[in-house]
Each structure stands twice: as C-alpha cells, then as structure tokens.
C-alpha cells in the first residue's frame, strides 16, 4: 500500500537540504549502528524507524516546487483511519520545519533552557518569527545513534552555524563554548517550576526507555546516569540554571523566559527587537503544570 500528502514549503533549496540532512540524522540516531535514512537529490528516503508504527515499511520526503511530498510505503491492509491519523501527524511535524518563511536575522539565537522547559515551543515561536531554527541536535557533539560514544568531545560548529537559532540538548549545555564561538549571539534560558519540570523530564525519559530498552546517549551524557534517577535529574537541572544565571549576570544579550506565563511574545519579541505576530504563542508538548 502507498499513501502520500503534500506540505507547503517556504524554505529555499539550500535550507531544505539542511533540514533533510538533519531529519536523516534524527532518524539514524534512533536506528542503532546502521543508516536507516539517507539523503537523495532534493529529499531523503528511509526505512522504518522506531517512532513510526510497524506497518510503515519506508518513507520518502521530496522537494517539489514550493511543496514537500511525503510518500509512505505501508503494509497491505492498513486501516484508512490509522493512515489518516499518521499522515496528519507527520504533516504537522513537517509543517513546523518548513512552512514558515525565513527572514534574515543579524545574529544567532541559542535556546539554553534545559530540556523539557518549553524548548519545543520556543523553537516553534522562533520559526514563526522567521528564524531558521532547529531543536535537539545530538550530532553537534558527535552522537550518531542511541548507544554511541564519541571518541573525543568535539563541537560541530559548522552544523550549528547553518541555523539562525538552535535549542535543547546538547546546545543548552554548551553556552560557554557557543558564546565564544559566535560572539554577539543572543541567549534565552527557558525556565519551569522544579516539580512540574521534574515530572515532565522523568516521564519523557521513562517513555523513551520503554521504546529503546535503555537511556539514550544524549540523556546519558546530560545527566551522567543510565537509569531513571530523579535526584540526579533534579541536581543537573538546578545546577544548569544556577551556572547559566551566574555566567550571564548583568548581560543584555540574555533573557529568561517561562513560556507558560503571561504572553511570552511580548518579552521574546522585545528581546529580539521584532514585531509581535498576530498569532497565539505556540504551546507544544504541554503537560499540566
């Protein structure tokens, strides 16, 4: 069986190629020790991967004029309702990546809030504002799959430089290095009350471990543990906030932002010196506070 759909694309071909490459990197990160996804001319192809239902045998994403075309190779007899739910979800996910027009921005923006503090919402907000943005990039420090261990610690600065904005792990932990490598950048620390953050972070890691059978490489690197350890999670979260606030104390290129308080557009846009858009601020992956 086959299913397909089209997604409007506002990116130019160079930007689309960067996105295709990093979708491949994401798929391959969750495909241990093998390359499930690969780039092709104007797109990518991939075997089934862990975050798709087993009845998806492979998929392809191709650039066509001002659209992306998503093609799914499915097991015979797949229920139409299941196909619609999946294609709707993939359309939303791809639209987030490619449907927002990109505007020139004079400097880079780094979301240095710890994972599960609204970093997905911040990334989507930055895309709405026209910044070419990416969320979560384990390859920046050499992790290629969920069990990988880089031979040496090295930051892939060219991979960072291709975007106007990057957020979440491991970027949030590299603020010192990024500050030195990209002078004049802007830094945003997203925050969240400790108890709600801890519940969300723990649930996220537990869900991931149910899929994988173990903690993934970036979480292992970030928390220094291979098991669910709420005490270790809390300690690392508080340590990160404390160190960031100390490092950026008194600086005008730094913003703290709780995306669940008030209208985050006002503080974010004032910081970036951009007009407030006439749309609601995105609240993605939201859990009860």
Q: What CATH number did the domain enclosing 246 receive?
A: 3.40.50.300
Provide the percentage of residues in the chain whose pLDDT is more than 90. 89
pLDDT for residue 35 is more than 90: no
CA dist 135 and 121 (Å) reads: 10
Comparing 44-53, 95-104, 235-244, the range with the smallest average pLDDT is 44-53
pLDDT at 86: 96
Q: Give the side-chain half-sphere CA count within 13 A for 211.
A: 16
Please tell me whether residues 133 and 250 are part of one structural domain: yes
Q: How far apart are CA 211 and CA 225, in angstroms?
A: 18
pLDDT at res. 284: 84
94 lies in the same domain as 116 = no
Residue pair 55/75 in contact (Cβ under 8 Å)? The answer is: yes
Q: For residue 111, what are the β-bridge partners?
A: 167, 188
Quickly tell me which residue has 């309702």 as its tokens.
81
d(CA 97, CA 92): 9
DSSP 280: P
State the DSSP H helix or E strand holding residue 192, giving kind and residue range, or none if neither.
Answer: none
Q: Residue 168: inside a domain, yes or no?
A: yes
Residue 59: which domain range? 2-98
Q: Is 103 a member of any domain?
A: no
Q: What is the CATH number of the domain that holds 57?
A: 3.30.310
Distance between CA 52 and CA 90 in Å, rounded?
Answer: 10
Same domain, 31 and 124: no
CA dist., res. 243 & res. 241, Å (int): 6
As a whole number, mean pLDDT of residues 249-272 equals 97
Residue 225 falls inside a structural domain: yes
Residues, the chain: 289
Residue 170 preceded by cis peptide, ω within 30: yes
Which residues partner with 45 through β-bridges?
Answer: 38, 60
The token duo for 66 is: 């001002």
Using 50, 70 and 90 to split pLDDT, how confident is the model at 288? Answer: very low
Residue 32 covered by a domain: yes
* Residue 281 within a domain: no
Least confident stretch, 45-59, 89-103, 231-245: 45-59
Asked whether residue 216 is assigned to any structural domain, the reply reads yes
| 223 shares its domain with 93 | no
Phi, psi (deg, nearest 5) at residue 256: -100, 140
92 and 153 part of one domain:
no
Is residue 18 domain-shared with residue 160, that is, in the same domain? no
| CA angle (14 as vertex; 30, 169 as ends), nearest 5 | 35
Whether residues 208 and 125 fall in one domain: yes
The tally of domains found in the chain comes to: 2
Residue 252's CB is within 10 A of a number of other CB atoms, namely 8
- pLDDT tens-digit readout, 148-203: 888 788 999 999 999 999 999 999 999 999 999 999 999 999 999 999 999 999 99
The domain boundary residue, chosen from 98, 132, 152 = 98
Q: Is the pTM of this model over 0.85?
A: yes
239 and 120 fall within a common domain: yes
The per-residue pLDDT for range 76-93, each reduced to its tens digit, is 999 999 999 999 999 999
172 is a domain residue? yes
Give pLDDT, residue 286. Answer: 54
pLDDT tens per residue across span 123-141: 999 999 999 999 999 999 9
Asked if 90 and 122 sit in the same domain, the reply is no
* Same domain flag for 201 and 113: yes
Average pLDDT, the chain: 95
Q: Is residue 248 part of a domain?
A: yes
Q: What's the CA gap between 122 and 5, in Å, rounded?
A: 27
Written as six digits, the tokens of 49 are: 């991967």
* Close Cβ partners of 212 (under 8 Å, ≥ 6 residues apart): 30, 50, 146
137 and 231 belong to one structural domain: yes
142 contacts 217 by C-beta, under 8 angstroms = no
Q: Which of 42, 74, 98 is the last residue of a domain?
A: 98
Alpha-carbon distance of 42 to 13, in angstroms, equals 8
- Reduced to 3 states, what is the DSSP secondary structure of residue 211? helix
One domain, residues 259 and 123: yes
């Amino acid at each position: 069986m086959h299913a397909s759909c089209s997604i409007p694309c506002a990116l130019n071909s160079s930007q689309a190629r960067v996105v295709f490459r990093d979708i491949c990197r994401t798929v391959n990160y969750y495909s241990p020790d093998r390359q499930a996804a690969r780039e092709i001319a104007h797109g990518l192809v991939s075997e089934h991967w862990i975050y798709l239902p087993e009845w998806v045998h492979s998929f392809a994403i191709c650039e066509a004029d001002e659209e992306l075309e998503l093609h799914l190779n499915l097991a015979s007899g797949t229920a139409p309702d299941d196909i619609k739910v999946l294609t709707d979800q993939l359309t939303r996910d791809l639209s987030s990546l490619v449907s927002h027009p990109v505007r020139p921005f004079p400097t880079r923006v780094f979301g240095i809030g710890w994972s599960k503090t609204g970093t997905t919402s911040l990334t989507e907000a930055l895309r709405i504002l026209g910044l070419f943005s990416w969320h979560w990039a384990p390859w920046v420090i050499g992790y290629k799959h969920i069990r990988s261990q880089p031979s040496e610690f090295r930051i892939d600065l060219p991979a960072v430089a291709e975007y106007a904005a990057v957020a979440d792990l491991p970027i949030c932990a590299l603020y010192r290095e990024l500050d030195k490598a990209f002078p004049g950048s802007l830094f945003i620390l997203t925050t969240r009350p400790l108890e709600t953050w801890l519940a969300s972070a723990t649930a996220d890691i537990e869900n991931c471990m149910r899929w994988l059978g173990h903690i993934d490489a970036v979480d292992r690197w970030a928390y220094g543990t291979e098991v669910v350890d709420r005490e270790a999670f809390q300690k690392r979260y508080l340590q990160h906030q404390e160190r960031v606030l100390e490092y950026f104390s008194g600086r005008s290129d730094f913003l703290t932002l709780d995306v669940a308080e008030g209208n985050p557009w006002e503080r974010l846009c004032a910081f970036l010196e951009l007009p407030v858009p006439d749309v609601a601020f995105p609240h993605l992956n939201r859990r009860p506070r």
